[in-house]
Structure 1
């Protein structure tokens, strides 16, 4: 490209060592902005952090490379970066509960650097990623209005942020595809086994990119990892007429109720897995027919079903009757422990908090499992980038940009399926384009926002060819949306992913290599 952006944003490159119980991993950390182009003109700079390990011995097979991003839309990659995958992580209490201030960083013994190089990407408008201002000079040489460092234009219509161009499904995916393609070229990594990993809406991105990267950008994928994904938006909100989401929530309600001692155990007391299995069977065999039949469902059978539902999810029968079996996540979070004046988290219903307004009819407080995390991840990523990696910038790091979330456009120009946006079709096509690509979908049991049973349900409906079905793995863990904050779950997931990379990326790159 002949066009070069006028940017004073300086990259940083540092050397580090991650000390593990059995070995040391020496790696190079590169924190930098990569330019995105539109018709060969620079339009944005995407911030990223790359951790690249230099193998001790020359190997004929290149080391795997994984591109990582979060969701939102509007979330930076700091959650996976500082919570699970990077060489440093935030210290949480054993069961994922929030520690008292200040934030504490520790060496991450479960860092994926053990088996893959990592590139954490912040989409435009998150982290330090920003649009570039348009040409500041007109044809006559007179200066035009400029943009400030945050990327907010003062000359456009109603002061809209410049990044809004990128806050749309297809433009966002295209930006990620361009970034990945350009990174592979600059780093000469086209022959590496390539993986993509995304959390929440980032899982939606992974499913869409599983097709787009291969079909439009020529990037072959060895593996795609979807972490607490939102795959079909029709499952994110139920109504009187859209029934499936009520059923896919039920097993997570049951898991949370059992965790808090409010459920009547369906099989064996203390056996969480069997209780969740009973909830899954109830959801499929009783709840969906009940909701679908409506008023034609026999009254006595309906009452028996309501009682069984109340027993499974630990709510009073009166609440289940009032909701007619349609239990919203906010209702569940408020009602499960209402007698203790506590609420449960939406993103991790194993975590509770004091209800600040116990006498008001609706819950009016913040969600402790999302809003409570801001102080941890904001402090952690700023310290790590500025102090450890040496980035110098006056930009604010946008951990979760609500302006992005509110402005996001889901218009797919006529490609919506039945009025809703989805990604499973693209995942199916991606798996057929590349019958060697391995796919791993994972959730936390107690996540009410993207419940695990939704992905199980969708996998059962994908109708994958018998040759491809073994390429799809679904595995879920104790915890919530970020189940990796639980020590046991993070450690188990780490071992599972080491095996996954060996299957997907070839022999010799599992846990224990690359030191």
Structure 2
């Protein structure tokens, strides 16, 4: 899901949707109007409770400091009926990219109905019709849900005097999401209600920055909790590039468990035992080797290569020729090269027959993406029309193509001095947690996530002065979208529910 743009986090979300681009500035003169919305009433059984709820797909106008409209941000809200809403909890949810709509978490996990693809990651989603089922584990018994589509995704777009540059940037994006959240809370009378955020991938980058922004702006809004699914707070650990020593360290355990899954390493050992071996080697001999570099003797390098072959299932000579540094795109091709297959990025369990057997890396893209994306897109478009009663004369864009090259990654205000570095919002979240001593964070990790590795989450949260007692780590035997595996959907649902209930007592 990422990027040219500085780092590889959610390329998949930019490749799974309909193409979309906008002009830098709105071309038509904006005529003041009432925001549009589509309402429908539904019932469902969640956590054993039969609940009536209202679904609202609507737009919120964002404005600049002069009060001029700059954008139309759309969201889908699910609001329980028949209860006092003043202190009713609310969970704000968004995906990543940057440039992804909220469809993945909406249709994959948090929504009242969800799409189902092959839990074992063996079968392509094929063509319509797709499986769409009631989500009895949805959280509507505990909290209302608000799915946010950032500007350029879904139905959201620039309006009035707005320009894409007002929204397409690390700081600008966080400001717009924070503005939306304040407007929503004000409109719905929720200032005294517990407030939560959930983000996936770049959505976790965003969540950390939004938590910081919400504490300023003259309307300080403290959050109760944040759910980070496949976290990406410090991109040094999720950017598999040559010369980025951090990434070779953070990706190694993910390579090891993926090799274990495909029967190429660690056979006869449990996943947990092999994971811990990989962690110990990464923090020990491998980390030392990476930083010694050419100060090592040939014998020392060969010893490290032997251990890397043991963990990754790759040929020792191939590893030596790679200078004991295996880039992730090469690993995905090399692991099953003899079988002519490449494995997935978002989920290393997936694999696909390749058309070019000798290419350095996968040539067809990410099978974990193209084997699931059509189902999500088709199901959600049908759901919008048939059940949520949305009637608009323009499409819902699951991703904003063209955003990557226009995205402003600078973490400082325009005009301020800055030297390029890896994107990181880890410190923003850490400082927000120190200012708000009630804020708790759940970090959900997929073992086979080969884009935001679980070991990077451990490495990130061990630094930046995070208050360890308020960080909860959970692990699942799937990938980036761990909820695509039914066992992990169930486990994540239990973990998220416990996390929220613990703060709502």
Residue number in structure 2 paired with 1:319: 318
Contact 1:207-1:226 at 8 Å conserved across structures: no
1:15-50 deviation line (CA, Å, top 9, x unaligned): 101135733122110000111011211111101000
SS in 2 for 1:304: helix
RMSD: 2.0
Shift of 1:54: 2.6
Map 1:22-101 → 2, pairs under 5 A: 22-38=48-64, 39-54=66-81, 62-97=87-122, 98-101=124-127
Distance 2:459 2:362 in 1: 30
Map 1:379-394 → 2, pairs under 5 A: 379-394=378-393
- Which of 424, 430, 433 is the equivalent residue of 2:432? 430
Alignment of 1:307 with 2:306, yes or no, is: yes
Distance 2:330 2:257 in 1: 16
1:109-160 deviation line (CA, Å, top 9, x unaligned): 22222322100000000010011144xxxxxxxxxxxxxxxx9xxxxxxxxx
Contact 2:46-2:137 at 8 Å conserved across structures: no
Shift of 1:495: 0.8
Contact 2:46-2:141 at 8 Å conserved across structures: no
Contact 2:445-2:475 at 8 Å conserved across structures: yes
Shift of 1:412: 2.6
Map 1:370-449 → 2, pairs under 5 A: 370-413=369-412, 414=416, 419-449=421-451
SS in 2 for 1:173: helix
Residue number in structure 2 paired with 1:188: 189
SS in 2 for 1:379: helix
Structure 1: stretches of 5+ with no match in the other structure: 135-150, 152-161, 508-515
Distance 2:94 2:327 in 1: 29
1:213-246 deviation line (CA, Å, top 9, x unaligned): 1233411100011111211122232555431111
Q: Using structure 1 for the length normalisation, give the TM-score.
A: 0.87
The alpha-carbon distance between structure 1 residues 106 and 276, as it changes in their structure 2 partners (threshold 3 A), is same
The alpha-carbon distance between structure 1 residues 365 and 45, as it changes in their structure 2 partners (threshold 3 A), is same
SS in 2 for 1:369: helix
Q: Using structure 2 for the length normalisation, give the TM-score.
A: 0.88
Residue number in structure 1 paired with 2:457: 455
Distance 2:307 2:73 in 1: 51
SS in 1 for 2:292: helix
Residue number in structure 1 paired with 2:13: none
Residue number in structure 2 paired with 1:118: 145
Contact 2:69-2:160 at 8 Å conserved across structures: no
Contact 1:76-1:398 at 8 Å conserved across structures: yes
Map 1:78-477 → 2, pairs under 5 A: 78-97=103-122, 98-102=124-128, 103-134=130-161, 162-216=163-217, 217-239=219-241, 241-265=243-267, 269-413=268-412, 414=416, 419-464=421-466, 468-477=467-476
Alignment of 1:15 with 2:15, yes or no, is: no
The alpha-carbon distance between structure 1 residues 8 and 65, as it changes in their structure 2 partners (threshold 3 A), is closer
Contact 1:214-1:221 at 8 Å conserved across structures: no
Q: Which has the larger radius of gyration?
A: 1
The alpha-carbon distance between structure 1 residues 297 and 240, as it changes in their structure 2 partners (threshold 3 A), is farther
**Does 400-409 or 480-489 show the bigger shift?**
400-409
Distance 1:463 1:44 in 2: 36
Shift of 1:198: 0.6
Contact 1:9-1:393 at 8 Å conserved across structures: no
SS in 1 for 2:214: helix
Shift of 1:500: 0.5
Contact 2:169-2:408 at 8 Å conserved across structures: yes
SS in 2 for 1:121: strand
SS in 2 for 1:36: strand
Shift of 1:55: 5.1
Distance 2:184 2:133 in 1: 29
Distance 1:44 1:5 in 2: 13
Shift of 1:9: 6.6
Distance 1:294 1:484 in 2: 40
Distance 1:5 1:196 in 2: 33
Shift of 1:438: 0.8
The alpha-carbon distance between structure 1 residues 20 and 111, as it changes in their structure 2 partners (threshold 3 A), is closer
Shift of 1:408: 0.8
